[in-house]
A = this chain, B = another copy of it.
Amino acid sequence: MIDIQEALSQVLESSQNYGQEKVPLMESVGRFLAEDIHTDRDAPPFDRVTMDGIAIQLGDLENQPLGSYPIQGIQAAGLPQMTLENRKHCIEVMTGAIMPKNADTVIPYEEVEIQDGQAKINLEKIAKRNIHYRGSDSRQGEKIIANGKKINAADIGVLATVGKITVKVSNLPDVAIISTGDELVNVDETPQEHQIRKSNVYSLWAGLMKDGIKPEMFHITDDKTELEDKLKGLLKDFDVLLLSGGVSKGKYDMIPEVLDDLGVQKSFHRVAQKPGKPFWFGFHKELNSKVFAFPGNPLATYVGYQFYFRQWLHQSLGEKLQFNVCTLGKSLPGNPKISQFVPVQINKKNGEAMPIKNNGSGDLFSLSQTEAFLLVPRREGENQAGEKFQLIEMS
Enumerate A311-355 residues with CB–CB distance to B below 8 Å.
322-327, 346, 348-351
Residues on B with beta carbons closer than 8 Å to the beta carbon of A197: 160-163
Residues on B with beta carbons closer than 8 Å to the beta carbon of A199: 157-158, 160-161
* Nearest B residue (CB) for A142: B365
Interface SS of A by simple majority:
loop
Q: A193-B81, A366-B137 are in contact. Are A187 and B163 (CB under 8 A)?
A: yes
Most buried by B among A154, A156, A161, A193: A154
**Closest CB-CB distance, A200 to chain B, in whole Å?**
6
**Docked-complex contact A160 and B25, CB < 8 angstroms:** no
**Docked-complex contact A348 and B324, CB < 8 angstroms:** yes
Enumerate A1-53 residues with CB–CB distance to B below 8 Å.
25-26, 29, 39, 41, 43-46, 48, 50, 52
**Closest CB-CB distance, A173 to chain B, in whole Å?**
18
Interface bracket on A = 35 or more
Q: Is A386 an interface residue (CB 8 A)?
A: no
Q: Which of A57-65, A89-97, A115-123 contacts B (4 or more CB under 8 A)?
A: A89-97
**Docked-complex contact A368 and B78, CB < 8 angstroms:** no
Q: Which of A230-238, A257-265, A356-364 contacts B (4 or more CB under 8 A)?
A: A356-364
**Docked-complex contact A187 and B165, CB < 8 angstroms:** yes
Give the complex CA separation of A388 and B95 in angstroms: 34
**Docked-complex contact B98 and A249, CB < 8 angstroms:** no
Q: Is A56 an interface residue (CB 8 A)?
A: no
**Docked-complex contact B302 and A324, CB < 8 angstroms:** no
**Docked-complex contact A365 and B137, CB < 8 angstroms:** yes
